[in-house]
Amino acid sequence: DLPDVRGHVRFENVEFGYEADRPALRGIDLDIEPGMTVALVGHTGSGKSTIVNLLCRFYDTVKGRVLIDGIDVRDAKLDSLRSQIGIVLQDTFIFSGTIRDNIRYGRPDATDAEVEAAARSVRAHDFISQLPDGYDTEVQERGSALSMGQRQLLSFARALLADPRILILDEATASIDTETELRIQEALGTLLADRTSFIVAHRLSTIRHADLIVVLDHGVIVEQGNHDQLMKL
C-alpha cells in the first residue's frame, strides 16, 4: 500500500515498449525530489506521455523500476497509487452538470466555500461569477459555452481542490489570448506549489519556470537540467 506520499519519484534504467522489439523508452534514469516541477519536452513520439503513463502504472511490462517514495509502483495498490496522482489532461474533461460539480469531481465532499476558494486561487472565480447562475451554471459535456482557457482554469481548480501529492499536466497547445495566457501562468504557479509535478510542456514560460527540464528524443533522455544549465550547452 502507498501511505501518504511525499512525492519522491525515481526511474531506474527504465525500458518499455508498447509492442515487442519496439522500445518507446530506453535507459530512463530520473531522480525527482518532492515538490519539484519537471518539464518534459521533445518532438512528437519522443516518449513524454509514456513517461507519465508509467508513473501511473498504466502498463506493467516495464523493465527497470519506477519508484514513488522508494516503493515500486508495481507493489502499490492501484487505487492508492492513483489517489495520490492528479492528472490534468490537454483535452480538459468537462461533464454535463454544474460548474460546482465539475470542480469538486475529485473531492465530492468539498463544501461550497472550498470550491470557491480553489476557484479563486487559480483565478477562475471572476469568469464563473459572471456566468448567468455562477457556480450553479449548467455546462455541457463538450463545454462549448466555455472557452479553451476557461476550461483550463476549471480543470486547475479541480486539481487544486483534489490536492494530490503528484500532479501530471499535459499542457494545451491551443493558442489562447494573451490575458488568459497570463492568467493560466499565474494559476499554474499556485497549482504546482508544494507538489511534485510533471508537465508535458509546450510553452516557453512553463519550461523556464521548471526546476528540471528533461529533453527526450526517440525514447531516450538527451539532456536534463534547469533552464540556465541547458542554455549553456
Instruction: For ligand ATP, give the closer residue by CB, 44 or 178.
Output: 44
Report CA-CA distances (Å) from 225 to 82, 107, 152, 230: 28, 35, 28, 6
Instruction: For Mg ion, give the closer residue by CB, 24 or 122.
Output: 24
Interacting residues toward Mg ion by CB under 5 A: 49
Choose the one of ligand ATP, Mg ion, none that binds residue 178, judging by a C-beta under 5 to 8 angstroms depending on kind: none
Choose the one of ligand ATP, Mg ion, none that binds residue 4, judging by a C-beta under 5 to 8 angstroms depending on kind: none
CA distance 32 to 151: 29
| DSSP 8-state code for residue 11 | E
Instruction: For ligand ATP, give the closer residue by CB, 62 or 110.
Output: 62
Which grid coordinates are listed for 150? 476557461
Is the dihedral angle over the CA atoms 68, 71, 74, 79 positive or is it negative?
negative
**Number of neighbours of residue 92 by Cβ within 10 angstroms:** 20
Calculate the CA 24 to chain-centre distance. 20
Q: Work out how close the CB of 70 gets to ligand ATP at its nearest, in angstroms, rounded to a whole number.
A: 25
Q: Are 189 and 167 in contact (CB under 8 A)?
A: no
Choose the one of Mg ion, ligand ATP, none that binds residue 45, judging by a C-beta under 5 to 8 angstroms depending on kind: ligand ATP
Instruction: For ligand ATP, give the closer residue by CB, 49 or 190.
Output: 49
Choose the one of ligand ATP, Mg ion, none that binds residue 18, judging by a C-beta under 5 to 8 angstroms depending on kind: ligand ATP
Interacting residues toward ligand ATP by CB under 6 A: 18-19, 24, 42, 44-50
